[in-house]
Structure 1
């Protein structure tokens, strides 16, 4: 379905949309309509409270109900969604996501949720777009292409700030939904070469048209990867009939004084290699490339937003399969930066492709490196499937967590204990041990391993193994399958780098 989104300050009670969506708050006196629904409440008058009671609504988050308006409103259908005790960006985003699925078949929708500030406006639009996301490319019974219009109603709709937020949010949402599309692709249809081709297509689309940003892209195949000395990427991919790739996407606007490097794990399917996974553990392994998808799309979004910061994304892509040419436990692999690694677990392949990509990123001497990866089940054991673990330089980790809060993505800082440095050097024949089979602290061990390839630069590792893919039913703005997590956090982090640099520029101007 092709959807057009518009921003308006119109009266929700008089809109001609097929459905009007309003929020319901839970209070001690019972359910009440939230900000954005005042005109609707006025139109119903004293009849509204008994109606809400009859529908069984309490305002609890996740609740929803549909009410034929019978002429009380211009729209024929009123949709009520619960916000809980308070209208925050989090609750509005979740309520909007719920509403999107309730009105999935409506050809026009007026969204009258709380949206009287930039963050709430962003939340209402984001929740509706993401909560209504579907992936139907392979559904033979999918509906024919149709169109509809969604109008987001806001009392601040005419302000320049709201217009800018509305436009920028749509850019971010295109990036997030594209990541979801890529993650949801069947692995046989999204091999490293096909993933790289999709990145090239996305680049072409982003750089076409008037005033499009100038973004550079490079694709390395198995031949040029060997010339670059990327032993980690090659060792993971050499058992597959689909050879590996490395995609580099760069945004370097004139006048940029900061450089952010983004590195993302792109394992298009992970069988575990010779250390093969149990069958049940492979069912979601098409999502093991979510980190690479996220860094590519975050870079494109940053460029489309025109942020004055240099950004370079490195996306190593391999398929971890089983064949006579597979890397064996006991093999030694040489990484791009010259360090050697003894392999003991071929299912710990993500750190190997990241080692090469991190080494390449370090050579360009960026100010900060962020790597994003579906890296370890151990991090999921520690934090569950909704929270990203963040490890690295203390100041960078803190900034990632802060950026994530604004982006609506949950993070938790994790340490690298000193003993991990000893464990990763436990190999008797190589510089580093890729894995040591000690049951405890696997996510921290992997982070310590990655740190060896960061060149001492400011760095944070985002382990998205849990929140990158949602296997259950839809909830709030999260739908089944790929989530597109980390895109918005990286964009917010880039915004912060620009903002942190601004005072220095202003001071220089004053001195001049």
Structure 2
């Protein structure tokens, strides 16, 4: 994790292995973003380089220039950030995040990097700092500490209180996203329900967050039949972990629920081998929720937040649950199992029911839930819910955070597809609208009158393609920033 600081030194004088400056596009071609404070001689040199190389300043375009006159840094890196208006909108701010993230990502062999804010507003400081810090992440090998990567990032920008708060917040967010990415990237022989809880215990030491966990005996006694059923086929028993942050005089109470399937083989309805390759990432929702609660506590937001993590390993064995089994969920509803590879909704159902018992002001669940989400929306998450106003609030938080999400309905005419002659409901519907019927199923466990939203992150939670912007290959940490932004909207 790179150390992120705010610097008031002039960009030209700031030492370091590299100086990153935004490059913006316009009618006259690529030009340096405002706020750099460089001398005319330096600007002339960089403009000539940009023209000679036909740079376009498109977001993600990264160009390193050595031996730039009038600059102390060894290398100047021009980071394409696209168009930049005097009052940048959310799309432009995301372009800054991605542009600076891409630049920092290419500098993994450097230790100290300086990034210049393309302007003077706190929003620009925040976008620059977030992009740079998120781009500095490097994947550790098999759980060992990462050795490569930028170790220090100085953000050159205004020195006012708003800028300092923006950089501090960016550092907290980046640390939270990095923790999520680390958990997702861990191999499943190292991360299973018990070790997930162990990691949370280590993280919560000395923090404002309290941890409680349910082991198999407590899960059975507590009526968590969905979680028990999913995990009973594995040698690694399931867990439910509860993270509680309770500030004095909170302005609201929010429950966050995360799917934490540490490996999903499909159970007895086993997946094809190729479909299992990325199934260590099926706990990305739980990782995002845990990291968000920790970040919210560190930021000291005046909102009570409780995270509920449903942790299980879905494996085939002689003790695994079968299609046609009927289980009793937390709260007493019975569910007929139709396909053991639709396991995430079972742990989520238990956790949503548990969360509802505390009557929070709202519930949000985050899950790598359906392949149908990937088919429909690719790397854009789907947002569903029982309250249009609250769903819009979640979408607004995602937009402010720079995470792509799209509203989806929960059509009432699909509900009969979950009818069962053997139980209160079947745990999945037919082929049509699989993403939506999964959401409808989860809605059955939400307490009466509680606004609830379901975020399906199956697509954007894991990047198995080429790294881009501030996204590395592997776990992306998607959802953490949206959850923090949502809670901030209540503060």
2:440 to 437, 444, 448: 448
Residue matched to 1:433: 426
**Is this contact kept in 2: 1:36–1:153, CA < 8 A?**
no
Distance 1:17 1:126 in 2: 19
Distance 1:148 1:486, change over 3 A: closer
Q: How many residues align?
A: 484
Distance 1:257 1:404 in 2: 21
Q: CA deviation at 1:43?
A: 3.3
Distance 2:271 2:406 in 1: 28
1:421-459 residue CA offsets vs partner (Å, 9 max, x unmatched) = 21112x1111001123x2110010000000000023110
**Is this contact kept in 1: 2:109–2:150, CA < 8 A?**
no
- 1:370 equivalent to 2:374? Answer no
Q: Please state whether the residue corresponding to 1:460 is helix, strand or coil.
A: strand
- 1:398 equivalent to 2:389? Answer no
Distance 1:150 1:333, change over 3 A: same
- 1:217 equivalent to 2:211? Answer yes
**Is this contact kept in 2: 1:392–1:461, CA < 8 A?**
no
Residue matched to 2:59: 61
Residue matched to 1:109: 113
2:222 to 223, 228, 244: 228
Q: Which runs of 5+ in 1 are unaligned?
A: 208-212, 499-512
Q: CA deviation at 1:144?
A: 5.1
Residue matched to 1:159: 160
Residue matched to 2:88: none
1:465 to 443, 458, 471: 458
**Is this contact kept in 2: 1:21–1:113, CA < 8 A?**
no
2:241 to 247, 256, 259: 247
Distance 1:358 1:144 in 2: 39
Q: CA deviation at 1:72?
A: 3.2
Q: CA deviation at 1:33?
A: 0.4
Residue matched to 2:345: 351
Q: CA deviation at 1:6?
A: 1.6
Residue matched to 2:21: 22
**Is this contact kept in 2: 1:329–1:344, CA < 8 A?**
yes
Q: Which runs of 5+ in 2 are unaligned?
A: 86-91
Residue matched to 1:9: 8
Distance 1:47 1:241, change over 3 A: closer
Residue matched to 2:302: 308
Superposed structure 1 runs of 4+ greater than 4 Å apart: 142-147
2:74 to 73, 76, 83: 76
* Structure 1 segment 411-422 matched on structure 2, within 5 A: 411-422=405-416
More moved, 66-75 vs 365-374: 66-75
2:131 to 127, 148, 154: 127
Q: Please state whether the residue corresponding to 1:123 is helix, strand or coil.
A: helix
Q: CA deviation at 1:165?
A: 1.6
Distance 1:287 1:45 in 2: 45
Distance 1:361 1:84, change over 3 A: same
**Is this contact kept in 2: 1:390–1:411, CA < 8 A?**
no
Q: Please state whether the residue corresponding to 1:265 is helix, strand or coil.
A: strand
Q: Please state whether the residue corresponding to 2:34 is helix, strand or coil.
A: coil
**Is this contact kept in 2: 1:130–1:479, CA < 8 A?**
no
Q: Please state whether the residue corresponding to 1:187 is helix, strand or coil.
A: coil
Q: Please state whether the residue corresponding to 1:39 is helix, strand or coil.
A: coil
- 1:270 equivalent to 2:274? Answer no
